Amino acid sequence: MSSIFALVNDIDTGEIVLPAIQRNFVWDTSRIEKLFDSLMRGYPVGIVLLWETYECIQYRNFTKNHRSDEQYIYAENADRKRLRYVLDGQQRLTSINIALNGSFQGKTFFFDLLSGSSSDDTSEEKYSFKFADAKDIDAENSAISVSVQSGESPCYWHSLPKLLKMTPIETMKLKSEIQQIDLLSDDAKLKLEENLFQIKYVFTENSECLKTQIIDASLPADYKGRKTIFDILEIFVRINSQGVRLSRSDLIISMLRLYWPEISTLLPDFLVEINSGSDLKIDNDFVIRCLFSTSGIGTRLDFDLLRKKSNVDAIRSCYDGCLNAIRQTVDFVRISCQIDSSRLIGGLNTLIPFVHFAFLNKADVFSTDGSAARKALYIFAFSKVFTQHSDSRTGAFIRDFVNEGSVVFPVEGAAQFVNWKTGFNTIDSGLISYNVELALSILQQRSGGKVYFSKNLPEIDHIFPRSKMEERYDSALVNDIGNLWILQQVANRNKSAKDPREFLSAVDKKLLKNALIDIDLLDQRKFRSFVSERREKIFEIVSRMTELDDPALSTALSGEAGEDEI
């Protein structure tokens, strides 16, 4: 059995590494702090499963200095040296390595040497750890006498990595310095002594809290009984599919890496590229669904499909074309539809049929007849047809309506599909109101894209104050789209429950005009008629701006269109 410090040393020397099938590091500082609290209490924190092998397999070294935008670098064991690959426990080991060897977002790990008092609630953290800047720690430590005088529990923070590397003489000197602090109680001095002993024991001697199990340990390199990469992949899948630690797309990417090592860098690089100028926030899940769809294996994220090498080959063969189709679709949504938020369209899955259509036709199909595609996108987005049951619904629409060789997106088919799946059978204010944020964004000409100054964040606001109106009217009427508009956060938070005529008198007149708000008509006695009339005006303008006022579309949505029309 190895101590935690020994495991960290093996990570530091590159003997323990992460196979490419492992997902990214995802823990936050609170989980890391709780892990160290558990270790200090002597609680078991699970087993680390390693595979010792000489195989030429793609891997990456552990993160030391974690950054949220970190891009991993992969290597292959071309020299066939002995390595130990982590199959289970990478989040815990990476957390420990960052805390003891590096930093989290530029901050290093500190331990409060005076913490550890017992509490009635054992779920509360007993020992205090945190990532911080050294300057902030120095300021806190210098104020310890003041905090003791005021009756607060004293804290004295020290770098945990430095603490573990201290010689016995250095440790005794540190203890003496802290114990000489004015007004420090005997209990605090005793806790300091206990912690200095405990911290060294936990990380350098104790092998019980974090145990290791090694597959094929110490077997000769040419021993025929060693596990194959396929055995290891099956072990990995079975471990990670029993819980919720990995998403389906995480597992799928891990399996793709087995046959296709380049995906380790291709996919992260593409996500950086596609999201650099857009706020649609394209993610792994969406790209994998598009790859599955365009390769002909459906839109269900079923990782069992990748146990067939032929399916992986199909994905590889369509990869470049699929990514180009995603690029084309993103441009279409942002430029042609003036939308830059997946939230406005009911989620990224709404875009999968458009990616598949662009892939099949291998041309800039949206510029050929973008009107049909725009109308289809809006009817999908307002109905939120793909927000739920995304696995089955996207695949069903593509199978039934998206055909190769067509230069016009099947907009009537989109309307028919929405009717079948959602029950909407007419283009009216009810449909438009089903996605209030999209309707108001179109009306007020907002794309939904990123806002950099927090006080400019858009919020859906009640024109007549909700708190006062609900005293007299039904909440459904008060929350009707006719009483809603989009307002910047700073203005919304400052208006309280003022009379709308008073509050809106200072608002830009052009903004009010675009939002269909006439201050002169804001009479609480005519609230019902104001809401009703504005709702219909919103529907009229939004349906015209989105071209959903097309009679053929209404016919298709009602279910009256014949097959030859669809």
Q: Which residues of 434-457 are buried (b: 16+ CB within 10 A; e: fewer)?
A: bbbbbbbbbbeebbbeeeeeeeee
Please give the full DSSP string across 382-442, using - where no structure is assigned. HHTTTTSSHHHHHHHHHHHH--TT-SS--HHHHHHHHHHHH---S-SHHHHHTTHHHHHHH
Q: How confident is the model at residue 112 (pLDDT cuts 50, 70, 90)?
A: very high
Helix, strand, coil distribution of the chain in percent, nearest 5: 55, 10, 35
pLDDT, the chain, mean? 88
Average pLDDT over every residue of 366-370: 69
What pLDDT, in 10s, does the model give residues 264-322? 889 999 999 999 988 999 999 999 999 999 999 988 888 778 878 888 899 999 999 99
Q: Residue 120 pLDDT more than 70? A: no
Q: In the Cβ-directed half-sphere of 407, how many Cα atoms lie within 13 Å?
A: 5
What pLDDT, in 10s, does the model give residues 458-487? 889 898 988 888 888 999 999 999 999 998
What pLDDT, in 10s, does the model give residues 518-530? 888 888 888 999 9
Work out the burial of residue 520: count CB atoms within 10 Å of its CB; fewer than 13 is exposed, 13-18 middle, 19 or more buried.
exposed
Q: Could you tell me if 39 and 210 are in contact, meaning their C-beta atoms sit under 8 angstroms apart? A: yes
What pLDDT, in 10s, does the model give residues 322-353? 999 999 999 999 999 999 999 999 999 999 99
Give pLDDT, residue 492: 54
CA distances from 263 to 91, 196, 303, 305 (A): 21, 46, 16, 17
Give pLDDT, residue 494: 57
Closest to 296 in 3D by CA, of 414, 399, 388, 389: 399
Amino acid present at 152: E
336 three-state secondary structure: helix
Q: How confident is the model at residue 565 (pLDDT cuts 50, 70, 90)?
A: very low
Give pLDDT, residue 566: 36
User: Residue 62 has what DSSP assignment?
Assistant: P
Q: Residue 246 pLDDT more than 70? A: no
Give pLDDT, residue 31: 94
Give pLDDT, residue 243: 46
Of the two residues 236 and 455, the one the predictor is more confident about is 236
Question: CA–CA separation, 68 vs 66, rounded Å?
Answer: 7
In this prediction the pTM is: 0.66
What pLDDT, in 10s, does the model give residues 444-453? 999 888 877 7
Percent of the chain's residues with pLDDT above 90: 55
What pLDDT, in 10s, does the model give residues 16-61? 999 988 888 989 999 999 999 999 999 999 899 999 999 988 899 9
Q: Residue 203 pLDDT more than 60? A: yes
Q: In the Cβ-directed half-sphere of 520, how many Cα atoms lie within 13 Å?
A: 2
Q: Could you tell me if 394 and 349 are in contact, meaning their C-beta atoms sit under 8 angstroms apart? A: yes
